[in-house]
Structures are given as C-alpha cells and as structure tokens.
Amino acid sequence: MPIGTREVEKIADLAHLKFDPQELERFVGHFQQILEYFAQLEAVSTENVESAHQAVEGKKRATPTREDEVRPSLPVATALDNAPESSEDHFQVPPVIE
C-alpha cells in the first residue's frame, strides 16, 4: 500500500507535529519503508510456530511478582503538592479531546 504526503500529514496532525515540505517528503519515505517491512513480516509463514504467551518460561526465570498487600496510601495533600493545578482533592489536567 503506497503512502503519500496526505497520509503523513494526517498522522502528523493526529500527533500534533508540524513538518516543513522537505521533512514531509522524508517522512513519506520512512513510512513507506515501515509498511514494506510489515509486508515482509506478513509474508512469513507462522503455521508451525507455537503461540507464546510469555517471553520467559519457568519459575526461576519468570518475572518476579510480589504478593498484594494493603498499605497506607500517599496523603492527598502530599500527592497534590507538586501538581501544577489542583481542585479540592483532584488533579486538574488540560482536556485531551478537542
């Protein structure tokens, strides 16, 4: 699937990025290379490959976890001390959906 400047501009807009025309053309090439690489991956047969849920198996190598335990949490005032903006007992953040 070829990708053009229109698609890259859309991706840049979604990521809140601004490119000059030279950068835009460079990124068109980069995105096209990425898509070509994914096409190569799709062509690889995985028919006889066993599904892996975890990269490392066995108890000795497994990712260590700790038991859940109830502990006191951070006091609200302490948590909000370094917040740029807060309201009552909450963090205030800018809207993420326009």
- Which residue ranges form the domains of the chain, and what is each CATH number? 5-43 (1.10.20)
Confidence band of 92 (pLDDT split at 50, 70, 90): very high
Phi, psi angle pair for 97, to nearest 5°: -115, 125
Q: Could you give the CA distance from residue 13 to residue 86 in angstroms, rounded to a whole number?
A: 29
* 10-56 residue pLDDT tens: 999 999 999 898 999 999 999 999 999 999 999 999 888 887 766 56
The confidence band for 63, taking pLDDT boundaries of 50, 70 and 90, is low
Specify the pLDDT at position 15: 92
**Residues 2, 36 contacting (CB under 8 angstroms):** no
How far is residue 4's CA from residue 68's CA, in Å, rounded to a whole number? 50
Q: What is the Cα 63 distance to its own chain's centre?
A: 22
- pLDDT at res. 34: 93
